[in-house]
């Protein structure tokens, strides 16, 4: 799998898997990436003005939105990431969504199946797939960027 090859390269410290179920037991595809960004949630505050209250306003929690997660410089031996993106775009299977798992490993250890912490992403949908610029003299990765939108995430720390 991608883990054996990716563990030979220092920059890959994030293993990303996609599962057909929320429990994370039906692995569809997995890859290793050197950069993950966009783990961000923003809650909009709602202002409530109360009559007779002249000092300030009441702030209530409004809807929460999630930023797209961007995976950069990745490697996978399984072509299912492209198959998934292709099914959504060219084949118009818009409902194919997976649960994502981002595992973060300490830089001094190889992939030893004990990540320092995990981010679970729910109802993941890929929105952009960017392959590398192909050059016979360059040593580039198989996936330059993968953009994902989702409907929420949860942090799981190692116990």
Confirm whether 120 is domain-assigned.
Answer: yes
User: What pLDDT is recorded for position 110?
Assistant: 59
- Strands 69-75 and 98-104 come out as unpaired
Confirm whether 2 is domain-assigned.
Answer: no
CATH number at residue 72: 2.30.110
Task: Please give the tally of structural domains in the chain.
Answer: 1
User: What is the span of the domain harbouring residue 142?
Assistant: 13-157
Confirm whether 56 is domain-assigned.
Answer: yes
Please tell me the distance from the alpha carbon of residue 21 to that of residue 98, in angstroms, as a whole number: 7
DSSP 8-class letter at 132: P
Confirm whether 67 is domain-assigned.
Answer: yes
User: What pLDDT is recorded for position 38?
Assistant: 96
Confirm whether 1 is domain-assigned.
Answer: no
Confirm whether 38 is domain-assigned.
Answer: yes
User: What pLDDT is recorded for position 7?
Assistant: 46
C-alpha torsion angle, residues 12, 115, 120, 125 (rounded to 10) = 20
Confirm whether 4 is domain-assigned.
Answer: no
Confirm whether 98 is domain-assigned.
Answer: yes
User: What pLDDT is recorded for position 109?
Assistant: 66
Local confidence pLDDT in tens for the 159 residues of the chain:
444 444 444 466 888 999 988 888 888 888 888 899 999 999 999 999 988 888 889 999 999 999 999 999 888 765 677 788 888 888 777 788 999 999 998 777 655 678 889 999 999 999 998 887 777 765 555 778 899 999 999 999 877
């Amino acid at each position: 799998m991608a883990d054996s090859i990716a563990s030979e390269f220092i920059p890959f410290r994030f293993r990303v898997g996609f599962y057909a179920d929320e429990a994370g037991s039906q692995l569809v595809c997995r890859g290793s990436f050197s950069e993950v960004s966009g783990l961000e949630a923003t809650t909009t505050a709602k202002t409530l003005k109360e009559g007779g209250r002249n000092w300030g306003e009441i702030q209530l929690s409004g809807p929460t939105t999630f930023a797209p997660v961007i995976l950069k410089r990745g490697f996978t031996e399984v072509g299912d990431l492209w198959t998934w993106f292709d099914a959504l775009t060219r084949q118009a299977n818009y409902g194919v969504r997976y649960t994502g798992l981002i595992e973060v490993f300490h830089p001094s250890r190889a992939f030893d199946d004990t990540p320092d912490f995990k981010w679970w992403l729910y109802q993941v949908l890929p929105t952009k797939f960017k392959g590398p610029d192909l050059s016979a003299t360059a040593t580039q990765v198989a996936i330059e960027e993968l953009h994902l939108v989702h409907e929420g995430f949860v942090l799981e720390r190692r116990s």
